[in-house]
Amino acid sequence: MAQAATSGLTFVEEERGIIVADAARFGDVVLARKDTPASYHLCVTHDDALQGVTLVTRGKDLFHATHLHRLLQALMGWPVPIYAHHELLTDETGRRLAKRDSARTLRSLRADGVPPAALRARLLSEAGG
């Protein structure tokens, strides 16, 4: 039954169109352990379904995880949103800006007096705009 539910899976990537999901890409995936109640992958797909999310926007570093998310959606009978994966924002040294790496927040930039126009200009230059 799981084989039938997982064959022919696809998802829509906003800028690339229909992507064929490779359900076997990660092999056996750990979804929960004694020390961790549930994996990121299970949590985000569940939350997206529960909240009725129709467009998931994440960094390009998570593009390949979408194959696993699509598999979980099929197995659980959850809806499939459209996906958009963006370039990663980085600091002056090229290190990605991420909460888990204690990256500076907009609040801290504002507190340090960085004007909104300067931040917009930096983000636009990094995006090639």
Which residue numbers are catalytic? 99
CB–CB of 84/13 below 8 Å? yes
Across-strand partners of 108?
none
Which amino acid is present at 110?
R
5 backbone dihedrals φ, ψ, rounded to 5°:
-70, -20
d(CA 39, CA 63): 17
